[in-house]
Amino acid sequence: MSTADAPERKAATLPGDPPRILVIEAPYYRTVVEGMRHGAERVLAELDAEVEVAEVAGAYELPAALRLALEAQGVEDGPQWDGFLVLGCVVKGETDHYSFICDAVCKGIMDIAVETGAPIGFGLLTVDNLTQAEARSADDRHNKGIECAHAVIGQIALARRWGLQ
């Protein structure tokens, strides 16, 4: 499916109380990541979600920050989030660094998701150039932050349906 074929998403729905969402973002490409977050926030606003944002230095730190957030939830009187959005962008350069970072971050987030079952919306853009990233963070239906918000809402809905939240 090309970007031109991006599905039109229907309004978000979620049973129960408004969700609390932690957005963990790596704003190295700040305008791109902010564009994705703003797309996600529009979807979450439809649910009156409470959104908290935490920034990390770069994409490589995203899995560790997610792990820290999950551990903080296990502490008595610690923060309680219903779901997590992980946002960042890695643009391909002239070295192998791109591949190592993308592989490590994707595997790190997936390992945490599978191990914990935490509702996660994964929004790491892995692109060849900044033009591609800007197209995926624009204020339109191609915005990957919107897709991530719908993904995390769906995961929270499943957790609630199965009595896990």
Q: Which residues are catalytic?
A: 97
161 is in an annotated binding site: no
98 is in an annotated binding site: no
Integer Rg of the chain from CA: 15
Beta strands at 83-91 and 120-127: parallel, antiparallel or unpaired = parallel
89 is in an annotated binding site: yes
61 is in an annotated binding site: yes
136 is in an annotated binding site: yes
CA distance 19 to 41: 12
Tokens 């977050």: give the residue: 37
49 is in an annotated binding site: no
User: What tokens appear for 145 in the block?
Assistant: 């932050």
- Binding site feature residues for (2S)-2-hydroxy-3-oxobutyl phosphate: 94-95, 136
Instruction: Cite the annotated binding site by residue number.
Output: 28, 59-61, 89-91, 94-95, 122, 136
